[in-house]
């Protein structure tokens, strides 16, 4: 199958999922009304109707948030796996999630309500710590992974500690950590799309350089690619975009890990097409998972991505031997 | 660890094929990696009259190219895409491959005889095929200085000889080719000069035909015997003790 055909198929999936998500919900709104309400310049009186609020302020931001977060995590997974030459790498193995969790839990337990900024700062601080430790240890790819694992473990312990001493606020912490898209707003949708578009654009631009460093340090350098600079640039871009997704929507694992692997089976490892397909695939998967989560009575969406994704991934692994990358 | 390269391959000039010979661990790879700008060094390495360390990585990619001994090429790139990576130093950031790039890729594939493999997946190639594809990538890169680490390893005899004649052609067309070589007979037959390295030091620099028993036995700590074909070609054989 050509890359274009795969991309078209993924787009079609996104359209179908979007239709499903926009047309279904607790409030019954006929399809033609939903479509007419999506017109950007509605007269003021119809903008205030219940239907309009449901479609424009609830369903659409939620759909866009899920699509953007999935796209962001898919791209981040591709970049991290390629950059670190490690099939296990994803935003969450590098401490980004635990950093966000710790930052968020810290402010919830101290009853300050700036949860999203705190989680964002936590995620970026964790990533910076991972990078600093890895640099001191020699700056290799393995060092980054190991530092990520260590920082994650430390911060997860920190989250557990905060839960233990949080008394009555433990409920709020647990609820926030579960994550999900039910609290999406136009702001969250806009922020996550901005971040996703930025990280995709930067990664795509450097896609061929990513191809080169995936061959190994020597081969990449001999092709004139400065791996250190590339790593700083791309790690910053995808950390930032994952941090945005995590701080708004909580810990949603698995998408950043599985989507790149599945897409690699379809497209091969060349990064530019892989990035495009993982952007689309991540978006489709996340929006569908969010739909399923809502159907199951607002389960945390991370539960859905893992419970459906893990067996599916195992089946794929068993069915065809995966090349490393 | 290279200790003293002061008598080293200074003054290596374009249009030469230089073979680095020496036992395992003698410093051949380290020397190649240093020349490629991958390692820090004391002293001075100049390239076109300019200190190697002052080149930016991207600039260096247009001047020096290296075929490493190992490469993590267990990657699902098509052979065509893989060879195309050689064009990275020549292209802009945004652009894909231009027509010139495409022509360079096809030409490199033709020279290395890997045209039939172009649309195969690189991770499914044999060791020898992979080596030739990576060499094609280097040809597509078209640097002025080719640094090759055991280019014919994993190749059968036919492809090993072919690899050396390609290296010879490159040097005749004005490139400087510096190659670590295990097969001293291929090195002696094709190279313009042999740099003899042991324990991080250069023992000697001799012209291609200038190997003698003394140098070889000092280098490898075994005795050698010279065989001469009726056509006058020399071949050295190590004698088992």
Search chain B and give the residue with CA nearest A229: B57
The answer to whether residue A276 neighbours chain B at the CB level (below 8 Å) is no
Query: How would residue B1 be classed by pLDDT, with cut points 50, 70 and 90?
Result: very low
CB contact under 8 A, A324 and B123: yes
What is the spatial distance between Cα A263 and Cα A20, in angstroms, rounded to a whole number?
A: 23
d(CA B111, CA B168): 13
Under an 8 A CB cutoff, do A224 and B123 touch?
Answer: no
B43: left (phi over 0), alpha (psi -120 to 50) or beta: left
Residue A324 has pLDDT above 50, yes or no: no
Confidence of residue A155 (pLDDT cuts 50, 70, 90): very high
DSSP string, B16-71: EEEEEE--TTSSHHHHHHHHTT-S--SS--EETTEEGGGS-HHHHHHHEEEE-S--
User: What is the predicted pLDDT for the residue at B76?
Assistant: 78
> In the block, which residue shows the tokens 């700036």?
A114
Nearest CA in chain B to A264: B76
Q: pLDDT tens across B155-202, in order? A: 788 888 888 889 999 989 988 999 998 888 888 888 888 888 888 888
pLDDT band at B206 (very low <50, low <70, confident <90, very high): confident
pLDDT band at A32 (very low <50, low <70, confident <90, very high): confident
Could you give the domains of chain A? 3-319 (1.10.3470.10)
pLDDT for A320 equals 62
Chain B positions touching A269 (Cβ under 8 A) are 75-77
Q: Pull the structure tokens for residue A213.
A: 């460093």
**pLDDT score recorded for residue A46:** 66
Handedness of CA B160, B164, B170, B175 (dihedral sign): positive
How near does any CA of chain A get to the CA of B28, in Å? 15
Euclidean distance between CA atoms A283 and A72, whole angstroms:
8
Nearest to A257 by CA among A66, A88, A83, A79: A88
Lowest mean pLDDT among A48-57, B51-60, B137-146: A48-57
* Of A215, A224, A264, Cβ closest to residue B72: A215
Q: Which of A187-201, A286-300, A305-319, B85-99 has the highest mean pLDDT?
A: A187-201
Residue A78 has pLDDT above 70, yes or no: yes
**Residue-wise pLDDT tens digits, A95-104:** 888 998 999 8
The shortest C-alpha distance from B89 to chain A (Å) reads: 6
What is the pTM (predicted TM-score) of this model?
A: 0.86
Q: How far apart are CA A75 and CA A277, in angstroms?
A: 9
Q: Which of A222, A263, A265 to mutate to test the interface with B (most CBs of B within 10 A)?
A: A222
B90 touches chain A (CB under 8 A): no
- Amino acid A321: pLDDT: 58
With CA atoms as reference, report the closest residue to A215 among A269, A137, A275: A269
**pLDDT at site B7:** 45
- In chain B, DSSP finds a helix count (H) and a strand count (E) of 8, 10
The verdict on A324 touching B (C-beta cutoff 8 Å) is yes
Q: In this predicted model, which residue has the larger pLDDT, A16 or A46?
A: A16
B217 touches chain A (CB under 8 A): no
- Percentage of residues in chain A having pLDDT higher than 90: 39
Contact B36 A226 (CB under 8 A): no
- Min distance B142 CA to chain A CA atoms (Å): 10
Tokens of A114: 């700036």
Give the helix, strand, coil percentages of chain B, each rounded to 5: 40, 20, 40
Which token pair is B193?
């000069």
pLDDT tens track for A122-153: 999 999 999 999 999 887 888 999 999 999 99
CA distances from A140 to A93, A146, A238 (A): 16, 10, 18
Is residue A212 within 8 angstroms of chain B, CB to CB? Answer: yes
Question: Are the Cβ atoms of B33 and A214 closer than 8 angstroms?
Answer: no
Quick one: CA dihedral B30, B36, B40, B43, positive or negative? positive
For the purposes of burial, counting CB atoms within 10 Å of the CB of B152, is it exposed (0-12), middle (13-18) or buried (19 or more)? buried
Dist. CA B32–CA B147, nearest whole Å = 6
pLDDT tens figures, A201-255? 999 999 999 998 888 878 888 888 988 899 999 999 998 999 899 888 888 888 8
Structure-token pair, residue A125: 């601080």
Averaged pLDDT for residues B113-126: 88
Q: Residue B85: which of A221, A223, A268 has the nearest Cβ?
A: A223
Chain A positions in Cβ-Cβ contact with residue B91 (cut-off 8 Å): 208
CB A10 within 8 A of CB A284: yes
Which among B39, B76, B137, B148 is the top mutation candidate for probing chain A, defined by the most A β-carbons within 10 Å of its own β-carbon?
A: B76
Distance to chain A for B205, nearest Cα, Å: 26
Sign of the dihedral defined by the CA atoms of residues A76, A97, A231, A190, in that order: positive
Q: DSSP per residue over B78-138, as a string?
A: BHHHHHHGGGGGGS-SS----HHHHHHHHHHHHHTT-GGGTTSBGGGS-HHHHHHHHHHHH
Distance from C-alpha of A151 to C-alpha of A134, rounded to nearest angstrom: 11
Q: Which CATH number fits domain B16-239: 3.40.50.300, 3.90.550.10, 3.40.50.2020, 3.40.50.11270?
A: 3.40.50.300
Whether residue B40 lies within 8 A of chain A, CB to CB, comes out as no
Structural domain spans, chain B: 16-239
DSSP for A194-210, written as a single string: HHHHHHHHHHHHTHHHH
B68: number of Cβ within 10 Å: 24
CA distance linking residue A98 with residue A108, whole number of Å: 15
Q: What is the mean pLDDT of chain B?
A: 83
Of A211, A214, A223, the CB nearest to B89: A223
**Residues of chain B found within 8 Å of residue A217, distances taken between Cβ atoms:** 38
- How high is the pLDDT of residue B5? 52
Is B73 part of the contact surface with chain A (CB cutoff 8 Å)?
Answer: yes
Q: Do B76 and A323 touch (CB under 8 A)?
A: yes
Rounded to the nearest 5°, which phi and psi values hold at B201?
A: -125, 150
Both tokens assigned to B223: 């005795």
Instruction: Please tell me if residue B70 touches chain A, with a CB cutoff of 8 Å.
Output: yes
pLDDT of residue B8: 47
Of A85, A208, A211, nearest to B72 by CB-CB distance is A85
Structure confidence at residue B211 (pLDDT) = 81
- Euclidean distance between CA atoms A280 and A262, whole angstroms: 12
What pLDDT sits at residue A251?
83
Q: Is A175 helix (H, G, I), strand (E, B) or coil?
A: helix
Give yes or no for A228 touching B (CB within 8 A). Answer: no
**Mean pLDDT computed over B50-79:** 83
How does pLDDT run across B8-25, given as a tens digit for each residue?
A: 445 566 668 899 988 888
Judged by CB atoms closer than 8 Å, whether chains meet at B65 and A216 is answered as: no
Query: Of B57-66, B68-77, B222-231, which one has max mean pLDDT?
Result: B57-66
| Separation of alpha carbons A104 and B155, rounded Å | 57
Q: How far apart are CA A145 and CA B239, in angstroms?
A: 49
| A259/B65 Cα distance (integer angstroms) | 35
CB A122 within 8 A of CB A103: yes
B221: left (phi over 0), alpha (psi -120 to 50) or beta: left
User: Cβ–Cβ of B68/A206 closer than 8 Å?
Assistant: no
């Amino acid at each position: 199958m050509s890359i274009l055909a795969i991309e078209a198929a993924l787009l079609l999936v996104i359209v179908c999922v979007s239709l499903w998500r926009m047309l279904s919900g607790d409030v019954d709104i006929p399809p033609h009304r939903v479509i007419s309400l999506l017109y950007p310049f509605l007269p003021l009186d119809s903008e205030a109707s219940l239907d309009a609020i449901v479609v424009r302020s609830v369903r659409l931001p939620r759909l866009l948030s899920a699509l953007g977060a999935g796209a962001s995590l898919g791209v981040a997974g591709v970049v991290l796996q390629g950059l670190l030459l490690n099939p296990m790498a994803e935003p969450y193995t590098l401490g980004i999630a635990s950093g966000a969790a710790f930052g968020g839990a810290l402010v919830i337990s101290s009853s300050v309500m700036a949860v999203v900024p705190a989680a964002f700062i936590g995620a970026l601080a964790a990533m910076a710590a991972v990078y600093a430790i890895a640099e001191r240890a020699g700056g290799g790819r393995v060092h980054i992974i190991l530092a990520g694992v260590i920082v994650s473990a430390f911060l997860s312990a920190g989250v557990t500690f905060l839960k233990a001493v949080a008394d009555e606020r433990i409920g709020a912490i647990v609820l926030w950590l579960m994550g999900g898209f039910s609290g999406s707003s136009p702001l969250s949708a806009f922020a996550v799309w901005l971040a996703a578009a930025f990280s995709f654009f930067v990664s795509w631009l450097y896609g061929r350089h990513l191809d080169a460093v995936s061959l190994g340090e020597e081969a990449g350098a001999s092709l004139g690619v400065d791996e250190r600079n590339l790593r700083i640039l791309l790690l910053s871009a995808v950390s930032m975009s994952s941090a945005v997704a995590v701080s708004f929507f909580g810990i949603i694992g698995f998408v950043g890990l599985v989507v790149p692997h599945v897409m690699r089976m379809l497209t091969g490892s060349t990064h530019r097409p892989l990035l495009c397909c993982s952007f689309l695939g991540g978006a489709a998967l996340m929006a569908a998972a969010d739909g399923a989560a809502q159907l199951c009575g607002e389960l945390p969406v991370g539960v859905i991505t893992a419970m459906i994704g893990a067996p599916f991934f195992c089946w794929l692994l068993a069915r065809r031997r995966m090349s490393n990358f | 660890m290279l200790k003293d390269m002061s008598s080293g391959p200074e003054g290596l000039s374009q249009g030469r094929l230089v073979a680095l010979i020496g036992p395992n661990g003698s410093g051949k790879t380290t020397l190649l990696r240093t020349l490629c700008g991958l390692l820090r060094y004391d002293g001075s390495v100049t390239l076109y009259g300019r200190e190697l360390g002052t080149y930016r990585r991207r600039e260096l990619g247009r001047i020096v190219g290296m075929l490493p001994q190992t490469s993590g090429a267990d990657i699902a790139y098509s052979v065509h895409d893989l060879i195309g990576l050689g064009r990275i130093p020549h292209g802009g950031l945004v652009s894909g491959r231009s027509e010139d790039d495409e022509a360079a890729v096809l030409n490199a594939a033709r020279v290395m005889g890997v045209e039939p493999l172009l649309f195969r997946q690189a991770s499914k190639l044999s060791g020898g095929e992979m080596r030739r594809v990576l060499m094609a990538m280097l040809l597509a890169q078209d640097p002025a200085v080719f640094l090759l680490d055991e280019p014919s390893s994993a190749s059968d005899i036919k492809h090993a000889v072919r690899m050396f004649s390609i290296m010879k052609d490159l040097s005749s067309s004005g490139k400087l080719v510096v190659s670590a070589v295990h097969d001293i007979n291929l090195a002696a037959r094709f190279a313009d000069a042999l740099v003899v390295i042991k324990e991080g030091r250069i023992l000697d620099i001799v012209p291609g035909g200038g190997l003698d028993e003394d140098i070889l036995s000092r280098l490898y700590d075994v005795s050698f015997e010279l065989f001469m074909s009726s056509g006058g070609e020399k071949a050295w054989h190590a004698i088992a003790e």
